[in-house]
A and B are shown apart, each in its own frame.
Chain A
Amino acid sequence: MSEKILQLSSMGIKFGGIVAIDELNLEVNEKEIVAIIGPNGAGKTTAFNCITGIYTPTSGDIYYLGRSILNVKPERITALGIARTFQNIRLFKELTVFENVIIALHLRYKDNLFTSTFKLNFKKEEEKIKEAEKLLKSQNLYKYKDEISQSLSYGLQRRLEIARALATKPKLLLLDEPAAGMNPQETNELTEYIKRIRDEYDVSILLIEHHMDLVMDISDKIYVIDFGKLIAEGTSKEIQNNDKVIKAYLGEEENA
């Protein structure tokens, strides 16, 4: 049996009186690609924010590798092995592509102020630079190394954000709408790209996505949430034929 990486057990969160997520149960196993889908405002990003410690759930629990991470700070959660990207891209905008990646390597190459200031750690620094360059090459970003990150195209920015997340050597990678803002060709390439990341970096992937073709193609398991409630879970086939899911999505289209 494969190892359980992430488990949400009846996790819920309220903002004031509003229930954003209600009793969510979810599991990600080793090397799985799992998708969360659902209409706008369903609570998908909120779930990510709970897992990464930005919000603290008001009920239930979150287990990572069998341990509760309920009150762990975001930076500690990253150190434990959960990395993420953001729906509206959060790069270090004014910094270069290279700096964006090397900053994420600091976590694994700890350094004290003295050695780092007086460059007594140049061996480590060299290793760090090498690893950053290797990562950029593997993501086809090396030629943009010295560009300011916000000057890149949307698609490249998304890829850089993924590269930065991978630099922390995660066991679990959370992708919040990776295809948003990408052109059709980039979106098509994304399927292979995500699979390649999983195999090359040995990560499990939990992603939020609105592009159904991509989701159906790539996911081992899909969770559907609507108004903060889990309305279905299963394989692509099971989800495609689920009445509730069809209703939730059709309902949304009628409103739109």
Chain B
Amino acid sequence: MKIKFLIKNLNIILSVIMILLCLAFLFIIDANNGSNKYLITIIEKSLVYAVVALSMNLVIGFTGLFSLGQAGFMAIGAYITAIFTIPIKFRESIYYVEGINADLATMTLPIPIAIILGGLVAAIIAAIIGIPILTLKSDYLAIATLGLSEIIRAVIASPMMNTITNGSYGLKRIPSFSGVLECFIYCGICILLMALVINSSYGRDFKAIREDEVAARAVGIDIFKAKEISFVISSFFAGVAGGLLAMFMRSIESRTFSVNLTYEILLIVVLGGIGSITGSIIGSFVVNIGKEALRVFDKPFTIFGFMVDWPIFREGFRMVIFSILLMVVVLFFKKGIMGGKEFTFDNIIKFFKKKGEKHE
């Protein structure tokens, strides 16, 4: 009886154990943060990118909407978080060009509230802009959302916004996470919420739309409403992730949120697996760790005692290698690492069971 219960809930039990192990690991790292600075940076970055990647996967991979506006919504969240959380005493020196807007000068919000506010503003903008653009076919939708993202960035950087966003000079001294554990908790909550939406009846409707819009309507799904909901939720979490990114980077400028950022996230989504939650998380760690690991190729290096000093091994070469690796993945593993499936203990058990059956 007891054993049966254990087996039935093995997936949940193992997942909980796994999360506890992660927490313990992060706790240890936090305790020795002096010696683990580099590791902490990579983990925090990967976590924040995992949140954005999943928010992008929600529209692209689960709803089939080819939307490329993520960087713009992140910019909104990042700037709102920064504006309301930079300590008042630093503000005058940061807004040295035209001074700070009088109403904002003394206004602060607790960090979580500022982050949520950033997400809400991004969501509201998405809701309004979604009405005309979500009826567009995929390539037009991609162009429209890219355009929107660039418009948001241009507005933030415009001199007219100097007293609010500090225009093109950027914002500094944004308070950061108290430790990697705090970052993990924020990101974990975001990922959990999105996973819950994806596994709800709404998530099923999203997938139906991705598979076949005509059939989805034929079973009574209001596809416009469902697309709008997906787009708004995705933008909310992109905004939240923008706030988290601002905390991670401690200083931001409008250039941070150029289209390049969207492409970087898209790469994680594709590499991890379109339509896979765990894929986006794994993809984020693979990409961020990979980029660091390839740093050796940015300068001459020694291998087996030989000094390799070809002129190609200079600053930026790792990105070339990285892009080649990416092309290989896209060519040979079209569906990414996870290929639309999820990394759960249930699936692992099933996988090994199947293998066992084949051998018999």
Q: When the two chains form their complex, are residues A74 and B217 in contact, meaning their CB atoms are under 8 A apart? A: yes
Contacts of B197 in A (CB 8 A): 113, 117
In the complex, A73→B214 CA distance in Å? Answer: 12
Q: When the two chains form their complex, are residues B214 and A103 in contact, meaning their CB atoms are under 8 A apart? A: no
Given contacts A111-B201, A117-B196, A117-B200, are A104 and B211 in contact (CB under 8 A)?
Answer: no
- Among A54, A94, A125, A164, the residue within 8 A (CB) of B219 is A164
Number of A-B contacts (CB under 8 A): 92
**CB of A197 closer than 8 Å to a CB of B:** no
**CB of A86 closer than 8 Å to a CB of B:** yes
Q: When the two chains form their complex, are residues B202 and A117 in contact, meaning their CB atoms are under 8 A apart? A: yes
**CB of B207 closer than 8 Å to a CB of A:** yes
Contacts of B223 in A (CB 8 A): 75
In the complex, A92→B223 CA distance in Å? Answer: 14
In the complex, A167→B215 CA distance in Å? Answer: 13
Interface string of A162-177 (1 = CB under 8 A from B): 0011011000000000
Q: Which chain B residue has the least Cβ–Cβ distance from A91?
A: B215
Given contacts A52-B218, A54-B214, A75-B222, are A106 and B340 in contact (CB under 8 A)?
Answer: no
Interface string of A103-138 (1 = CB under 8 A from B): 110110101010011110000010010000000000
Q: When the two chains form their complex, are residues A168 and B215 in contact, meaning their CB atoms are under 8 A apart? A: no
In the complex, A128→B211 CA distance in Å? Answer: 21
Q: When the two chains form their complex, are residues B204 and A102 in contact, meaning their CB atoms are under 8 A apart? A: yes
Q: When the two chains form their complex, are residues A90 and B214 in contact, meaning their CB atoms are under 8 A apart? A: yes
In the complex, A125→B197 CA distance in Å? Answer: 15
Instruction: Give the Cβ gap from A172 to chain B, nearest Cβ, in Å.
Output: 13
Contacts of B205 in A (CB 8 A): 103, 106
Q: When the two chains form their complex, are residues A103 and B212 in contact, meaning their CB atoms are under 8 A apart? A: no
Q: When the two chains form their complex, are residues A92 and B211 in contact, meaning their CB atoms are under 8 A apart? A: yes
Given contacts A106-B204, A113-B229, A117-B196, are A75 and B217 in contact (CB under 8 A)?
Answer: yes
> Interface SS of chain B: helix, strand, loop or mixed?
helix
**CB of B208 closer than 8 Å to a CB of A:** yes
Count chain B residues whose beta carbon lies closer than 8 angstroms to a beta carbon of A.
Answer: 24
**CB of B43 closer than 8 Å to a CB of A:** no
In the complex, A55→B235 CA distance in Å? Answer: 33
In the complex, A74→B212 CA distance in Å? Answer: 14
Instruction: Give the Cβ gap from A212 to chain B, nearest Cβ, in Å.
Output: 27
- Among B196, B211, B229, the residue within 8 A (CB) of A94 is B211
Q: When the two chains form their complex, are residues A78 and B219 in contact, meaning their CB atoms are under 8 A apart? A: yes
Contacts of A109 in B (CB 8 A): 201
Count chain A residues whose beta carbon lies closer than 8 angstroms to a beta carbon of B.
Answer: 35
Q: Which chain B residue has the least Cβ–Cβ distance from A80?
A: B220
Q: When the two chains form their complex, are residues A116 and B219 in contact, meaning their CB atoms are under 8 A apart? A: no
**CB of A95 closer than 8 Å to a CB of B:** yes
In the complex, A103→B216 CA distance in Å? Answer: 9
Q: Which chain B residue has the least Cβ–Cβ distance from A52?
A: B218
Q: When the two chains form their complex, are residues A168 and B220 in contact, meaning their CB atoms are under 8 A apart? A: yes
**CB of A83 closer than 8 Å to a CB of B:** yes
Contacts of A102 in B (CB 8 A): 204
Q: Which chain B residue has the least Cβ–Cβ distance from A112?
A: B202
Instruction: Give the Cβ gap from B63 to chain A, nearest Cβ, in Å.
Output: 13
Interfacial residues of chain B within 189-209, with CB under 8 A of chain A in the complex: 193, 196-197, 200-202, 204-205, 207-208
Interface string of A152-195 (1 = CB under 8 A from B): 00000000000011011000000000000000000000000000
- Among A84, A91, A93, A106, the residue within 8 A (CB) of B221 is A106
Contacts of B193 in A (CB 8 A): 117
Given contacts A74-B218, A84-B218, are A95 and B207 in contact (CB under 8 A)?
Answer: yes
In the complex, A103→B200 CA distance in Å? Answer: 11
**CB of A246 closer than 8 Å to a CB of B:** no
In the complex, A92→B222 CA distance in Å? Answer: 16
Most chain A CB atoms below 10 A, which of B201, B207, B216, B223: B201
In the complex, A92→B202 CA distance in Å? Answer: 15
Interface string of B147-182 (1 = CB under 8 A from A): 000000000000000000000000000000000000
Contacts of B218 in A (CB 8 A): 52, 74-75, 78, 83-84, 86, 90, 165
A-B contact pairs, 15 of them (CB 8 A): A74-B218, A78-B220, A90-B215, A91-B215, A94-B207, A95-B207, A95-B208, A102-B204, A103-B207, A103-B219, A106-B201, A106-B221, A107-B219, A109-B201, A117-B202
